Structure 1
Amino acid sequence: MTCLTVRTAFNPRRALTLAASLLLISPATLAVTGHYVPGVEGIKGSSVPPAGTYYRGYGVHYDIDQLNDDNGDALPGSNTGSVTALANRFIHITGKQFLNADYGFETIIPVQHTSLDFELIGVDSSETEIGDIFIGPLILGWHGQQWDAVFASGVWFDTGSTSEPASAGKGYKSTMITLGGTFYPDAAKTWSFSALSRYEINFDDDNGVDRGDSFLVEWGLGKRLNNGVELGLIGYDGWQLDENTGGDALPGKVEKHALGLEVGYFWPSLGFGMTGAYLNEYRVDNTTEGDLFRIGLTKIF
């Protein structure tokens, strides 16, 4: 069977429209259309810790290589940038249970530096700010002999600034629902496979645009070695489910797929753990494409 591929000639006007729509669909951060940044969890991302108070810091650096159109092809010109952020997550798992699950709550306060240089649409912007804050009043964690499961929900508030293209705020609220599980194939739990899903229901933004909801899954296949080091293969897949409507919304839906590696170690005597990860986005539609570097810190109080 012969397959013919037909490519249309480059249309500068359409390219400008597509580039403008990228900023309206998803400001140049890692999120699909909501607020949550995929790739910050990874191995055993669905496992809720025991009762206690925890700090988790997610240090992320995202190098933007290009802007992509609806077919996943790069738009013309040099359209690059970077996002460097520290998401400060505070978790408290109580000693109480609900529906046979450990109950807890959390908050996330991100600090973000964004630098954008999009030649195609003349954007040259750089900002360092506190981003939109997340309040999660519900975390439920279940634990079996060789499995863990989690359900959680909360709201991203539009507390961040939206005054510049590189501002940290999204300009709209999102309700985030989380569901996931971790399976341990062996009784010693040296092997693990986890899948953590996030569904974000987005509200109208400052311009009256109704953002389409997004769904994403982070997954990780891990192996803990005899020396305590944990290695694994990780990835994420995200989709905007509906096109934006209202206001000055333009057609197109965001899609992101990435694959990478993670390494981590936990020091029980210190109540401290650290992870490092790298992910490459190998397929992206209608937003920025690039590489993500992450350092995760966990401290038990």
Structure 2
Amino acid sequence: MQQSRALTTLVTTGALLSLAAASWATEGGGGMYPNGNENYLTGALPPPGFYVLGYASSYRADTLRDNNGDKLPVDFKLQVNAVAPRFIWVSDLPLAGGQLAMHAITPLVELDATVNGRSQRKRELGDIVLGGGAAYHVSDKLHYYAGLDINAPTGQFDKNDLVNVGRNHWNVEPLLAVSYVQPRGINADVKLMYDYNWKNKDTDYRSGQEVHADYALGWGFGNGWVAGVGGYAYRQVTDDVGPNVPAHGNRGKAFAIGPSIKYDNGKGYFVTAKWQRESGVANRARGSEFKLRMTLPF
């Protein structure tokens, strides 16, 4: 009975599957941010102007992991395909010694999940992200961005559904992204984030706070190409609070790594791609994902 209740808590209370939904944790095993979403150039914002970034991803998982990282005895399959336009405005206005920048993300998600013979498919708008901050250019190689993102509960949520695209609560996420960029030689990027979650009013469940980072490390070949590895590291740092929370607090953790590439034409257009496989997973789904990102200047 306790095992059945734990599975119900993990799976049926609703999982965030915004943007890429690369993994599960907290309530329903989901988190606001699609871990591993960023790649090369994450902290190097472009010159003043308006830009559109396009994100696309495909994630697949077929196991759920318990608090010890062991496979749960449940028939589980998850396929998530997502596209998300991101609109960025970089100004020439000063902010804390840097340049003011603002952005918005509108994720569109196609979700197909099966748990112990019960299936559900959804194709919907996810939770919209609004954010802003300051961009800094220390040199032609070192860049960083400090900001705050707000995740709004715009996605649909039904506590009786198997899974949900929306989280049904607000979230704030302070972040710091740093990029070391050079045409030939080492390229390194990291985006550090901290998530603070509000309570889901429909379930009276409050997900714990989370610390996570996307990273990329590669070598530039001097012709616009960079190749290396990328992924993410994730850990939930406070317990969930609410009905049916396991005694261990349902804290999630995971790590992912895989090959990553970038092409930059030097005129404002670039594309990055990577495949990442998750390991060291607890209280989440374990799977793999392909991610693509491109930038178009206007």
TM above 0.5: yes
**8 Å contact from structure 1 (residues 179, 198) kept in 2:** yes
Do 1:209 and 1:248's aligned partners in 2 also have CA atoms closer than 8 Å?
no
* 1:206-241 C-alpha deviation (Å, 9 max, x unpaired): 211111111101111122212211112112111111
CA distance in 1, matches of 2:185, 2:266: 16
Pick one of 233, 250, 253 that aligns with 1:252: 250
* d(CA) in 1 for partners of 2:15, 2:120: 16
Q: Using the alignment, how far apart are the partners of 1:232 and 1:65 within structure 2?
A: 27
Structure 2 residue corresponding to 1:30, chosen from 22, 29, 46: 22
Of 227, 230, 233, the residue aligned with 2:226 is: 230
User: Where do residues 77-156 of structure 1 align in structure 2 (5 Å cutoff)?
Assistant: 77-119=74-116, 122-136=117-131, 138-145=132-139, 146-156=141-151
Q: What is residue 9 of structure 1 aligned with on the other side? A: none
Which whole-Å CA distance do the structure 2 matches of 1:208 and 1:78 have between them? Answer: 28
Aligned length, in residue pairs: 283
Instruction: Give the unaligned 5+ runs of structure 2.
Output: none
Q: Which residue matches 1:7? A: none
Structure 1 residues 25 and 84, CA gap change in structure 2 (3 angstroms): closer
Pair member with larger Rg: 1
- Which whole-Å CA distance do the structure 2 matches of 1:112 and 1:91 have between them? 21
Alignment of structure 1 residues 153-232 onto 2, 5 Å = 153-163=148-158, 164-183=161-180, 190-205=185-200, 206-232=202-228
Q: Which runs of 5+ in 1 are unaligned?
A: 1-12
Shift in Å at residue 112 of structure 1?
A: 0.2
Q: Do residues 295 (structure 1) and 292 (structure 2) align?
A: yes
Per the TM alignment, residue 21 of structure 1 is displaced from its structure 2 partner at its CA by 2.4
The alignment yields a C-alpha RMSD, in angstroms, of: 1.9
Does 2:8 match 1:16?
A: no
Where 1:17 maps in the other structure, the secondary structure is helix
| Cα drift, residue 272 of structure 1 | 2.6
AA matched with 1:286: N
SS of the residue corresponding to residue 93 of structure 1 reads: strand
Distance change >3 Å, CA 26–CA 166, structure 1 → 2: closer
Deviations 1:21-61 (A, max 9, x none): 21348546335543111111122322222211111111011
Deviation per CA, 1:75-127: give whole Å up to 9, x if none. Answer: 113211111111211100001111211111000100001111111xx531110
CA distance in 1, matches of 2:43, 2:9: 34
**Residues 241 and 26 (structure 1 numbering): CA distance in 2 closer, same or farther, change over 3 Å?**
farther
> Stretches of 4+ moved more than 3 A in 1?
24-29, 31-34, 247-251
The answer to whether 1:241 aligns with 2:237 is: yes
